[in-house]
Every structure is written in C-alpha cells, then in structure tokens.
Amino acid sequence: MSYLDYTLATAPAGWRKILHVHWPLVFLIGAVSSVGFLMLYSVAGGDLDTWAEPQMKRFAVGLVVMFAIGFTPIKFWKGLSVVGYVGTVLLLVAVELFGSMGMGAQRWLELGPIRLQPSELMKITLVMMLAAYYDWLDPRKVSRPLWVLIPVLLILIPAALVLKQPNLGTTLLLLAGGGAVMLVAGVSLWYFGAVIGSAAGLVSAIFESRGTSWQLIKDYQFRRIDTFLDPSADPLGAGYNIMQAKIALGSGGWGGKGFMQGTQSQLNFLPEKHTDFIFNTLAEEFGFVGGISLLTLYVLIIGFCFLSAFSNRDRYGALVTYGIATAFFLLIAVNMGMVMGMLPVVGVPLPLVSNGGTAMIILLMGFGLVQSAHIHRPR
C-alpha cells in the first residue's frame, strides 16, 4: 500500500464523524473546565452566580463551537487560513485605532454586546497561517533564508501589534507558539540557536535601556521583572501579589486546607484569585495532590494532541495540532510558572480554569481545529 492510497475519501462523513471524535480529549477538556467551575464557585465564597455560572455558559457555547469546527473538514480551515490571519491582523490594527482601554492597555474591541480580544484570536490564526505556509512550501526549502524570513515576518507583524497594546504576555506567547510551529516544520536548529542567542542579547539591551531616553519597555514592566527577581524585597508593594500567591500555594501543603477553607483566597489576601492566581486557590484548598492532579490532566490533553499529530499524515492538520497544543502548553507553563514564582507576572490566565470571556471560547475553537484535524486525518 503506497502513500497515495491514503485518500481523503476514506475520511468519515456525516453522523459517522461522531464516532471519530477524539472523545478522551473532549472528556479531559470537560474535566479541567469542571475544576475551573469548582474553583470559581469557591473563590466567590460559595456563590454560583458571580463567576461559575457565566463560565459554565461560556463553556457550553464553546463546546458547540468546538464541535462545529471539528465536524467541518480540515481542508476548509486550511483554505481559510490566509483570510483568517489577514483578518485578525486587521482587527489588531482596529484595536490599536478604536479599542477600549483595559488595565492600562488597549485590548478590547467593543462590537455591540461582544467584547472582542483579537490578540487571543491571533494565537490560533497565526498557527493556522504558519501551518498552511509549511503545508504549501516544498519541505526542501524550509531552511532557506528567504523561506525562513517569510514566517518570521508572519509572526513578528502580529507580535509587534500586540506588544504595542501593550501586552507582553501574549506577545511572548505568539513568538513562542509561532517558533514552535517552525521548529516542528523542520526549520534548521541553527536558526533557533541564533534567535535564542540574539534574544539573550535583546534582554540585556532592554535592561541597558532602563532609565534612558530609548527605554524599550514600560516602567511597570520593569517593576514586574524586579518583583520577579526578588519578591520579598518589597512585600507590601509590587512584590505583594507574588508573595501572597506563594503563601497561598505553599500553605496548602500535601492535602490542602479543604474546599472553600483556603484562608488566603477566602479572606482576599490572594489577589486576582479568580483569574491569574486561580491555581493558587486550588493548590491552597486541595494541596499538592490537587495541584498535581490538575497538572496531570493538562499533560494528558497535550499528550493526546501530540499523539494525534504523530499519527496524522496530513502536514497541515499535524502542524495545526502541534501549534494549538503548544499554545495551550505555553499558557499553562507561563501561568503556573508565574504563580509559583518561576516566571515574572505577565498576566496570563490558566487555560480553561481562569474566569475569562474570550479565552475560553478561543481555546475551545482551537481544540475544534484539533478535532477537525483528527477526524479528517488521512487513513
């Protein structure tokens, strides 16, 4: 049986697609989201209406979106990649021009009742764009400088727009997510070495720029870095949040203080307890056991995505799956690294768990693409 014997014709069609849905992934996503509902109920002091119920509604909507995307052939999404990418970049420009200010940064676009965060959507459309690019590109050319430059530009354009909002967290996620797709697509490792090397140079340049006329990042971002490097230096000022977060997490111990018994979160010592620091509430109330359990669920989700990508001979589908899984991983890694004091506080929510409007829907859209790639993979 030759490679060409695999044809799209053998892909499931109609209601049979339901049988080919990656159900373990769906259940894991549901499990993680349920943990989120539980924690949102807890941090609201045992109240459903505040955060948990709206989150459940968003999850229900997101689930429908996920299946709708998943049942749509991956070819269709491949065809939409360029349009999606260009459209999202235009939205980012629109935010720049008309967006609302949120937390000192332009992030939202008010479209009637919908509050759109194009930077969130960008994570997915960038992955789609890069996957489509490498699917189109002759694999032999991937490491040629000109063909490397194009995806680099594809990444840098939205990254620059998001950085200007300014949203450092999402910028880094776009860079890392895009880089991961390029890595998997087979771009020579030398390029990555060079980029990491020059990134180190850039970081030192940023520190050099502090206090000069050409300062590259904002003062509050510098302060966040300072705080990260030494949170205890200013426990009542900028370091307060991360110190309280670590106290919440650490004091949970092995088995936690019990559901709704976390003193740090219930007495409001823990900041942003329903968004960025929701993992600390979980770790405080359910301890190491609870934290490791959630981490395991996440590892299983990422692992299943990778397994699906390994067995997918459709280059576009596999690349999209790797890209989405990596974007998901990056959210987890940055958020958990941040709340445990390993990374600076950049304001990245914990995927599927943190209370968040667009984030939940966008993530489920991403998993919709993973499902579509899985259902419609060549057999």
Residues at the site binding other proteins, with contacts judged by CB under 8 A: 2-4, 139-140, 180, 183-186, 244, 246-254, 263-264, 267-269, 283, 287-288, 291-292, 295, 298-299, 302-303, 306, 309-310, 313, 315, 318-319, 322, 326, 329, 332-333, 336-337, 340-342
67 torsion bin: left (phi>0), alpha (psi -120 to 50), beta (else)? alpha
- For residue 49, the SS3 value is helix
Residue type, 218: K
CA–CA separation, 25 vs 364, rounded Å?
A: 11
Contact 194, 309 (CB under 8 A): no
Q: Minimum Å distance from CB 341 to other proteins?
A: 8
Q: Minimum Å distance from CB 186 to other proteins?
A: 5
Give which of 180, 195, 189 is closest to 127, Cα–Cα: 180
Tell whether omega for the bond before 231 is within 30 degrees of 0, i.e. cis.
no
In the complex with other proteins, which residue's Cβ is closer, 215 or 251?
251
And the tokens for 146? 């000109």
Q: Minimum Å distance from CB 1 to other proteins?
A: 12
In the complex with other proteins, which residue's Cβ is closer, 41 or 329?
329
- For residue 362, the SS3 value is helix
Bridge-partner residues for 115, per DSSP? 110
Q: Which residues contact 305 (CB under 8 A, 6 or more apart)?
A: 25, 321, 322, 324, 325, 328, 370
Give which of 354, 297, 343, 319 is closest to 120, Cα–Cα: 354
Q: Minimum Å distance from CB 205 to other proteins?
A: 26
Contact 332, 298 (CB under 8 A): yes
Q: Cα 133 to chain center, whole Å?
A: 21
CA–CA separation, 308 vs 71, rounded Å?
A: 16
In the complex with other proteins, which residue's Cβ is closer, 217 or 340?
340
In the complex with other proteins, which residue's Cβ is closer, 31 or 183?
183
Contact 90, 331 (CB under 8 A): no
Using alpha carbons only, how large is the chain's radius of gyration in Å? Answer: 21
Q: Minimum Å distance from CB 327 to other proteins?
A: 11
- For residue 105, the SS3 value is strand
In the complex with other proteins, which residue's Cβ is closer, 163 or 249?
249
With b meaning 16 or more CB within 10 Å and e meaning fewer, what string describes 88-101?
bbebbeebeeebee
In the complex with other proteins, which residue's Cβ is closer, 282 or 361?
282
Q: Minimum Å distance from CB 187 to other proteins?
A: 9
In the complex with other proteins, which residue's Cβ is closer, 86 or 189?
189
Q: Minimum Å distance from CB 196 to other proteins?
A: 12
Q: Minimum Å distance from CB 128 to other proteins?
A: 17
In the complex with other proteins, which residue's Cβ is closer, 95 or 174?
174
